[in-house]
């Protein structure tokens, strides 16, 4: 999974990054709220870990702005040295899904992130998955449409599986390249577009088959179930000091 960590403690950032990457996550770090919010203009993540006190704004403001931008699906773990009950209530009421007090225990951090990801993306945990006419067997690396097997190359299969596991989510181009080609892979942008075009044709991603795929300018791609294409689209942004950072 792709995780963004926001904290102005650079040593802690590296510790969290190392721990999460040891558990096969891709971790991106940010030292101030503005940097994360700007990144979210063109990038997507599976989970956010956010510190309370930041050099440019409060973490609660970052969380609220992310919720205004992205809705409620994206899981957010709040971390802070504050552990009063009122602080926990404020963090959760502003949109965080879970709360941890510093100093962090890395084993607990991994357990909490795993639980949040499992609840947010249950389709990512199974070996056999059915999405209407589309059936995957992850163990056999096979895909069938209306019971008919579809021949796919390795990257095409990985991309199809990732898109269906995240149906309804907007996924950035970088997110997709990291998930399918690997962290740090210097894959030409045209290669992703070519693979998407092939999937659209080979899988007959049309309204008749229940799923359509859309290219979102400046961001990436989204696979939508027909009739549910607007369920997880971001709501209209509410202007705030943090939101102003995005337009600056």
Considering the domain boundaries, does residue 42 fall inside one?
Answer: yes
Considering the domain boundaries, does residue 58 fall inside one?
Answer: yes
Considering the domain boundaries, does residue 245 fall inside one?
Answer: no
Interhelix angle for 59-70 vs 85-93, to 10°? Answer: 20
Q: Do 130 and 207 fall within a single domain?
A: yes
**If residue 223 lies in a helix (H) or strand (E), which one and from where to where?**
strand 220-225
Tell whether the model's pLDDT for residue 239 goes beyond 60: no
Considering the domain boundaries, does residue 6 fall inside one?
Answer: yes
Q: What is the pLDDT of residues 1-59, one digit of tens each?
A: 999 999 999 999 999 999 999 999 999 999 999 999 999 999 999 999 999 999 999 99
Considering the domain boundaries, does residue 89 fall inside one?
Answer: yes
Two tokens, residue 65: 């702005």
Q: Do 82 and 131 fall within a single domain?
A: no
Q: Do 161 and 93 fall within a single domain?
A: no
Burial class (CB in 10 A: 0-12, 13-18, 19+), 10: exposed
| Distance, CA of 84 to CA of 91 (rounded, Å) | 11
Q: Do 179 and 106 fall within a single domain?
A: no
Answer with the one of 70, 89, 120 that is the final residue of a domain. Answer: 120
Considering the domain boundaries, does residue 246 fall inside one?
Answer: no
Structural Rg of the chain based on CA atoms: 19
Q: Do 114 and 128 fall within a single domain?
A: no
Say what the pLDDT of residue 43 is. 94
Domain at 56, CATH number: 3.40.50.2300
92, 88, 38, 15: CA torsion to nearest 10: -130
149, 126, 72, 189: CA torsion to nearest 10: -50
Q: Do 49 and 79 fall within a single domain?
A: yes
Contact 150, 202 (CB under 8 A): yes
- Residue 97 vs residues 8, 63, 199, 239: alpha-carbon distances, Å: 21, 10, 35, 23
Considering the domain boundaries, does residue 244 fall inside one?
Answer: no
- Residue 240 vs residues 34, 77, 188, 244, 245: alpha-carbon distances, Å: 13, 22, 36, 6, 9
User: What mean pLDDT is predicted for residues 131-159?
Assistant: 93
Considering the domain boundaries, does residue 30 fall inside one?
Answer: yes
Q: Do 90 and 164 fall within a single domain?
A: no
Domain at 133, CATH number: 1.10.10.10
Two tokens, residue 161: 């599986």
Q: Do 60 and 128 fall within a single domain?
A: no
Say what the pLDDT of residue 206 is. 94
Reported pTM: 0.80
How many domains does the chain fold into?
Answer: 2
Q: Do 20 and 116 fall within a single domain?
A: yes
| Distance, CA of 41 to CA of 96 (rounded, Å) | 20
Q: Do 50 and 133 fall within a single domain?
A: no
Q: Do 100 and 152 fall within a single domain?
A: no
Q: Do 139 and 116 fall within a single domain?
A: no
Tell whether the model's pLDDT for residue 229 goes beyond 60: no
Q: Which domain holds residue 178?
A: 124-225
| Distance, CA of 31 to CA of 8 (rounded, Å) | 4
| Distance, CA of 149 to CA of 245 (rounded, Å) | 48
**If residue 149 lies in a helix (H) or strand (E), which one and from where to where?**
strand 148-149
Contact 221, 235 (CB under 8 A): no
Q: What is the pLDDT of residues 88-101, one digit of tens each?
A: 898 899 889 999 99
| Distance, CA of 228 to CA of 168 (rounded, Å) | 8
């Amino acid at each position: 999974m792709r995780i963004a960590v926001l904290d102005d403690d650079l040593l802690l950032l590296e510790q969290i990054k190392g721990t999460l990457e040891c558990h096969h996550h891709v971790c991106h770090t940010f030292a101030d709220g503005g940097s994360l919010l700007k990144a979210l203009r063109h990038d997507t993540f599976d989970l956010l870990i956010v510190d309370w006190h930041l050099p440019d704004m409060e973490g609660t403001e970052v969380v609220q702005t992310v919720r205004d931008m992205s809705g409620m699906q994206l899981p957010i773990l709040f971390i802070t040295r504050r552990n009063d009950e009122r602080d926990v209530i404020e963090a959760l009421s502003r949109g965080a899904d879970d709360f941890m007090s510093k100093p962090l225990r890395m084993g607990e951090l991994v357990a909490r992130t795993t639980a949040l990801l499992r609840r947010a993306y249950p389709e990512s945990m199974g070996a056999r998955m059915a999405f209407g006419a589309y059936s995957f067997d992850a163990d056999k690396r096979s895909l069938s449409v209306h019971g008919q097997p579809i021949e796919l190359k390795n990257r095409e299969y990985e991309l199809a599986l990732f898109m269906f596991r995240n149906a309804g989510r907007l996924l950035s181009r970088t997110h997709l390249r990291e998930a399918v080609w690997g962290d740090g892979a210097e894959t030409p942008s045209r290669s992703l577009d070519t693979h998407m075009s092939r999937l659209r044709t080979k899988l007959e991603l049309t309204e008749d088959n229940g799923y359509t795929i859309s290219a979102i300018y400046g961001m990436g791609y989204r696979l939508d179930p027909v009739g549910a294409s607007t369920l997880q689209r971001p709501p209209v942004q509410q202007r705030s000091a943090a939101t102003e950072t995005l337009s600056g």
